[in-house]
Structure 1
Amino acid sequence: MNDNSPKIVVFTGTSISHSDAGEILEAVYMPPVQRCDVERSVKAGYNIIGIIDGTFFNRTAVAHREIIKAIRNGVIVIGGASMGALRASELDTYGMIGTGKIYEWYRNGVLDADDEVAVATNPDTYEAVSSPMVNIRQTLLHACEKQIIDDSIKEILIQIGKQMHYTYRSYMGIMRKAADEEIISADLAEDLLEFCINNEVDIKRKDALKVLERIKEIAGHEQ
């Protein structure tokens, strides 16, 4: 990175690891964004800020006003995948750049709840230890497309997942509850669990990659 290159910081670690992200984009990688992190980044001289992951309910989330202030100070703020998708859908009219399917779903009103992207994480590694609802939806849709389940069962399983607290959501939990309530057979629950684990549609990771590629594109134009 030469002296004229943009100074980039990206907040992530859950949707994509810092090591995987670093193979795609040269940047400073920070843990999921919290309140005041954007303000501190601006003061530190970063002129491109990528927001992928962020804290939700147990710690104070990044404020709208600090993102707006950063944009008004000439900083490029790009978001997608998780907290970045939420904030971009709320602040794209103020100049925040959103990218990816999840951002589009929030922007268009297909999704409206924060818990669709929220997960419990390992506090040391930021790795997800529960399954995000957006991934569950897409993975069950994939199972439906493969004719492992029909559309009516897919919708029931989605509702089971939605009723779980985000910190406890898992494919195993959904299948166990569905089998216990005799919505699906024990054999189908076992087969479907194996399918979901081995064929998960990780839409959050896909969108995280799109954020990184978008930053790379914009940074190239800024040089």
Structure 2
Amino acid sequence: MVVETNNEIAVFLGPSCSIEEAKSILPEADYFPPAARGSIYGIINDGYRMIVLLDGLFYGQYSVWHKELLFALDCGIEVIGATSMGALRAAELDCEGVTGVGQIYQWFRDGEIDGDDEVALLHQSSEGAYAPLSIPLANLRWNLRLARRECMIDEQQEARILDHAKALCFQDRMMEVVLSPLAKELDVSGLQKWLETHGEDLKKRDCLEALRFAASRIATLGPAQPPRLRAYETVHTLIGIEYFTHERLNAICAKRQGKAMPLSQYTERVAVGDPSYRSYLRARACQRLINGWARELHLEITPAPILPQWLPNRFDLAHRRATGLTLIDIAREGREAAFTAGVIGSLSSPASRSLVSDIDRQLAEAGFSAWGAGAEITHLDGRLVYTLRRLGREKGILPDENEDADTAEAALHYLEWVYRTGLQHFGYTFDAATEILLAHQFADRLDDILGLRAAS
């Protein structure tokens, strides 16, 4: 069941402190279990303005991915990290905009500690309550420093305990075990009792500090920032440099009719061979190669204004939640459509108008409709086909070295050769199922993919 919320803050919390104590500081938040890979993607369309990452999974499940946090930042969401996984990721990504809070974050940032086992611990969990069964190494470091300042141990003894603890698996770090190297030279039971009585839970302290910091930020959150597109978000990624496809399709969900379904489940059911997609898929292939080749040729292109269909205000939160279409998807597609229009405009000439008209006529005769699925995103027309072949010739990419005639037949033959050869042959990724998914996300018609068309 999809839970509707009006809260603007999402907190990922586990054993660092109890939810009750956290809510006493930050009641205006939604609380989630420790983050795993995909957790950030899973809430990216739920309207949150701030994510507070505290606890995350280290063992037995993939940890939350760095690029999920970058994706959240690029969607205009503020990200705060502290205490555990949050401190580690903040130290790795503070230069990208993640805000780190607390002592543990500072240790990671300054290189004083560098292992994820510093904050890992074994715990029991039941109905959102987490009972620690082992000692986090970061907590041990902090409390041994306190003990040394009180002359309970000296510097060499502190180092020996830490070396011994570091050599243990995080699950085996019980107090009596980590103190065992000193059993013959001091009162270990007395030291253990002192640590339990006078020691501090550093992870909890940092956790509470981060929650208070987040509470102080609520009033100062300005208007949502526009999405930021990074280099890896370009539609035209070379093979092997496509960062998000698998994780995003499996983690971002369409949340409709009380259910959440990963986008991958839609792509698995797409009928790629459906003739109604023929025009759309060829148009998308044209757009992909036109933009890629224009960039490879270093053409000086002035992008056209963002087309009306890709203005973000068309896709409100309800639309994005229902379809899994993200702000980054919208911004990226708007940018690429504007760039395509700029390329077409720069290569158009009075001499090409007759050829473009002839291509349009033959497309219509061949049944390439401009009204099929995805037509609002892009549709196959003479300008696309002409521009594709023009750029292909400039790059020397031709099916037949002797085929150089400027005819509609030659241009259409070129389009079919390129499409059937496949974009991977030219160095670009092109997955028909995800392209079709985008068309249905855009139109908010995902049910059509599942074969659930309502009777008209």
- Alignment partners' CA distance in 2, 1:22 and 1:37: 21
1:6: how far off?
Answer: 5.8
Which residue among 74, 77, 97 is the counterpart of 2:76?
A: 74
> Structure 1 stretches of 5 or more lacking a match?
none
On the 8 A contact 2:152/2:191 being kept in 1, the answer is yes
On the 8 A contact 1:6/1:222 being kept in 2, the answer is no
Higher relative contact order (CA 8 A, sep 6+): 1
- Alignment partners' CA distance in 1, 2:131 and 2:9: 22
- Alignment partners' CA distance in 1, 2:199 and 2:175: 10
2:38 corresponds to 1:39? no
The secondary structure found in structure 1 opposite 2:31 is: strand
Could you tell me which residue of structure 1 aligns to residue 25 of structure 2? 24
The secondary structure found in structure 1 opposite 2:34 is: coil
Could you tell me which residue of structure 2 aligns to residue 128 of structure 1? 132
Which residue among 129, 150, 153 is the counterpart of 2:154?
A: 150
2:64 corresponds to 1:65? no
Could you tell me which residue of structure 2 aligns to residue 99 of structure 1? 101
TM-score by length of 2: 0.46
In the alignment, residue 199 of structure 1 is paired with which amino acid?
H
2:207 corresponds to 1:208? yes
- 1:80-118 superposed Cα distances (whole Å, 9 cap, x missing partner): 110000000111111111111111111111111110011
1:47: how far off?
Answer: 1.4
TM-score by length of 1: 0.91
| Structure showing greater Rg | 2
Counterparts in 2 of 1:94 and 1:121: CA distance versus 1, 3 Å? same
On the 8 A contact 2:160/2:181 being kept in 1, the answer is no
| % identical equivalent positions | 33
In the alignment, residue 9 of structure 1 is paired with which amino acid?
A
Of stretches 161-170 and 83-92 in structure 1, the one that deviates more from structure 2 is: 161-170
- Alignment partners' CA distance in 2, 1:106 and 1:7: 28
Could you tell me which residue of structure 1 aligns to residue 418 of structure 2? none
On the 8 A contact 1:171/1:197 being kept in 2, the answer is no
The secondary structure found in structure 1 opposite 2:125 is: coil
In the alignment, residue 218 of structure 2 is paired with which amino acid?
A
On the 8 A contact 2:12/2:55 being kept in 1, the answer is yes
On the 8 A contact 1:175/1:190 being kept in 2, the answer is no
In the alignment, residue 8 of structure 2 is paired with which amino acid?
K
On the 8 A contact 2:161/2:181 being kept in 1, the answer is no
2:52 corresponds to 1:50? yes
Which residue among 117, 125, 139 is the counterpart of 1:115?
A: 117
Could you tell me which residue of structure 1 aligns to residue 91 of structure 2? 89
1:129: how far off?
Answer: 1.3
- Alignment partners' CA distance in 2, 1:109 and 1:192: 28
Report the count of equivalent residues.
214
On the 8 A contact 1:54/1:83 being kept in 2, the answer is yes
- Alignment partners' CA distance in 2, 1:160 and 1:198: 22
On the 8 A contact 1:6/1:219 being kept in 2, the answer is no
- 1:147-183 superposed Cα distances (whole Å, 9 cap, x missing partner): 111111111111111111101102111223432xx3x
On the 8 A contact 2:157/2:182 being kept in 1, the answer is no
- Alignment partners' CA distance in 2, 1:18 and 1:6: 16
- 1:36-62 superposed Cα distances (whole Å, 9 cap, x missing partner): 111112222211110000001221100
Could you tell me which residue of structure 1 aligns to residue 188 of structure 2? 189
In the alignment, residue 97 of structure 2 is paired with which amino acid?
G
In the alignment, residue 166 of structure 1 is paired with which amino acid?
F
- 1:159-209 superposed Cα distances (whole Å, 9 cap, x missing partner): 111111101102111223432xx3x24xx1110010111122211111101
- Alignment partners' CA distance in 2, 1:115 and 1:89: 15
In the alignment, residue 45 of structure 2 is paired with which amino acid?
K
> How large is the Cα RMSD of the aligned pairs?
1.4
On the 8 A contact 2:88/2:108 being kept in 1, the answer is yes
- Alignment partners' CA distance in 2, 1:211 and 1:151: 31
Q: Which runs of 4+ in 1 moved over 6 A?
A: none
- Alignment partners' CA distance in 2, 1:59 and 1:160: 27
- Alignment partners' CA distance in 1, 2:31 and 2:17: 11
1:128: how far off?
Answer: 1.9
- Alignment partners' CA distance in 2, 1:17 and 1:6: 20
